[in-house]
Amino acid sequence: MRTPAAILAIETSNPSAWRDNDAWSPGVALGVVEGTGVRLLGVRASDPRDRDDPFLAHAAELLSAHGLHPRDLARVAVSSGPGGFTAVRVAVTAGKVIGLATGAALCLIPSAHVAARRVDHPSFAVALASKGEDAWVTPIRDGRPDQGRLVEARHLAGLSIGLLLADDHLPLSMREECARLGIAIERPTFDPVDLLHLSVHADTVDVHRATPLYPRQAEAVRKWRELHGDR
């Protein structure tokens, strides 16, 4: 009997998403392709704030618990950011290593798309990677994500949204502008099960060229250039 094609989803992109005793938590999910969809086999929560969190061990446990082997993976999906600088890069690197080791296709899905999947609203946006006075904002119109970009408070009116998904790091100026414009603010949820479902029909990427989505220059690079220029 042929083993069903398995998909592993890794959603550990945003450390701010972790809340003890939440109904949905970051982590890994495992499923198998059935028809045009995917059947969930299991989920393991993983705290993205913990740089030693064994999400790969959790993935191995899920595979073993369902009688599957790493070579049974048809694809591995990673929530590719923006998010925590280290968390996103560790997850994307893990996805690349799994792809190279097993032959699984790699899918990189923007984290905003994961947060938006269960939201029922005609026009909203997801704000991630807040820093200073701006955030990376991805508008979602009629269920379809637009291109994300860095946005400040002065840009919010032009988005024509009624809801903004944002964590506690959203700049105060943007919170005040949302209040002035009547834009509700809700905390986003990053669930590996949502990533699993999105991955079924997602495009795959060349594992050798796969890179995380991060909207700003790395802090280490910025500091180096401050000290040494472009040398």
Indicate whether 227 pLDDT > 90.
no
Task: Please tell me the predicted confidence (pLDDT) of residue 148.
Answer: 96
* 32 DSSP β-pair partners: 6, 39
Residue 77, SS3? strand
Mean of all residue pLDDT scores within the chain = 92
Flag whether pLDDT at 1 surpasses 50.
Answer: no
Contacts of 24 (CB under 8 A, 6+ apart): 189, 190, 191, 193
Please answer whether residues 57 and 41 qualify as being in contact, where contact means their C-beta atoms are separated by less than 8 angstroms.
no
State the CB neighbour count (10 A cutoff) for residue 173.
15
Per the model's pLDDT, the better-predicted residue between 81 and 21 turns out to be 81
Residue 3 pLDDT: 65
Question: Does residue 98 surpass a pLDDT of 80?
Answer: yes
CA distance 13 to 136: 14
The rounded percent of the chain whose pLDDT value lies above 70 is 92
Rounded Cα gap, residues 114 and 165, in angstroms: 12
How, if at all, do strands 27-34 and 37-45 pair? antiparallel
pLDDT tens column, 104-160? 999 999 999 999 999 999 999 999 999 999 999 999 999 999 999 999 999 999 999
Residue 222 — very low, low, confident or very high, per pLDDT cuts 50/70/90?
low
Mean pLDDT confidence for 72-101: 96
> What pLDDT was estimated at residue 231?
63
pLDDT digits (tens, 9 = 90+) for 170-205: 999 999 999 999 999 999 999 999 999 999 999 999
Q: What is the pLDDT of residue 4?
A: 73
As a whole number of angstroms, the distance between CA 137 and CA 231 comes to: 32
pTM over 0.85, yes/no: yes
Of 107, 114, 111, nearest in space to 205 by CA: 107
pLDDT recorded at residue 21: 73
20 versus 34: which is more confidently predicted? 34
Closest by Cα among 187, 163, 199, 171 to 80 = 199
